[in-house]
Amino acid sequence: MNSIVIHDVGMRDGLQMESAIVPFEKKVEWIKLLIESGTDIIQVGSFVNPQKMPQMKDTDELFGYFNQKENKPKKTLLSGLVLNEKGYERGVKCGVDLFCLGVSASETHSMKNTGMTTGDGTARIINIAKEALSAGQRVQASVQSAFGCGFEGAISEEKVYGIVEKYIAAGIKNISLADTAGHANPQKVERMFGRIFEMDKTVEMACHFHNTYGMGIANCYAAMNAGVKYFETAFGGLGGCPFTKQPSGNVSTEDFVHMLQNMNLRNDIDLEKMIVLSKSAEEFLGKTLPGYVYKAGMMKK
């Protein structure tokens, strides 16, 4: 559990559902707070069509800013979401540290999200991942809707394992299961991650839970027990996929870190900086965010 890695996806997943466009300067301010807090990985944005996702129109510019010598984080990695070859090319030019790719195990969600079937999407993602790996770049591949789908309901676990097997065969060893619809439960989380570790003990697993039914942080704990290393969360609990039936926020980064620190884990992270960030986001967006700790404050140990 001491090797837990915090991957904050608030700048991408957290903002993609928000109607108020966050200006470049405000995004820089928020990313700097995440860097100063000691967050391990920050997902700066996604390389998508800005007409379809206007919140992400300055992703290239943000990477350009934080890859300048005077602004480059010393320890924090900067990740970017890539859906296709054009997005990958943009990411390479911008100097992305970690390329995040993925395909949905739900045919309905896959068509709504990318316009491709799961099979076509898997083949395309693997080809991009192979190109990136051969160029010496870091890659994480995810299976979205891995625990269920708002449109289709239950998703076959065997279908999820089949996609994971293809990732492993392609040489991808950093693999994420994403609970896009928030249908996971702790028992299922432990079972599915356990099965994947049985397939290949050398894989490094990541998890991404949405809080649709209030089980997000319980699922994180189950993933910890199963041996998962990377945890994708979002400041303030922001987020939600616009192409799922019931969009809901992510597990709050500061809530998850607060739990860890009360278990005497990841005490190196500056939780106060994360709380400042969530309060700033609350003020800018003009609404109360789903997270708890930024409102209640930290428990005294």
Contact 206, 228 (CB under 8 A): yes
In this prediction, the residues of the chain whose per-residue pLDDT falls under 70 are 1-2, 240-248
Residue type, 132: A
Distance CA(197)–CA(201), nearest Å, equals 5
Tell me what pLDDT residue 243 has.
47
Q: For the chain, give every domain's residue range.
A: 5-296
Q: What is the pLDDT of residue 248?
A: 59
Rounded Cα distance between 177 and 26, Å, is 30
Nearest to 247 by CA among 185, 182, 292: 182
From CA 276, how far away is CA 260, in angstroms rounded?
19
Instruction: Tell me what pLDDT residue 241 has.
Output: 53
User: Are 18 and 234 spatial neighbours (Cβ–Cβ below 8 Å)?
Assistant: no
pLDDT value for 237: 95
Structure tokens at 238: 């922001």
Q: Which residues lie closer than 8 Å to 18 by C-beta, 6 or more apart?
A: 55, 238, 285
Tell me, what's the pLDDT at 240?
64
Q: Give the torsion sign (CA, 127, 45, 236, 230).
A: positive
What confidence score (pLDDT) does residue 245 get?
Answer: 44
Q: Which CATH class is domain 5-296?
A: alpha beta
Angle between helices 271-285 and 24-37 (to 10 degrees): 160
Cα 205–chain centre separation: 12
Report, in angstroms and rounded to the nearest whole number, the Rg of the chain calculated over CA atoms.
18
- The predicted pLDDT at position 300 comes to 82
Q: What is the pLDDT of residues 120-147, one digit of tens each?
A: 989 999 999 999 999 999 999 999 999 9
Report yes or no: 7 and 233 within 8 Å, Cβ to Cβ: yes
Instruction: Please check whether residue 2 is in contact with residue 37, taking contact to mean a CB–CB distance below 8 angstroms.
Output: no
Q: Supply the pLDDT for residue 152.
A: 84
Per-residue pLDDT tens digits for 193-231? 999 999 999 999 999 999 999 999 999 999 999 999 999
Q: Report d(CA 118, CA 72) in Å as an integer.
A: 36
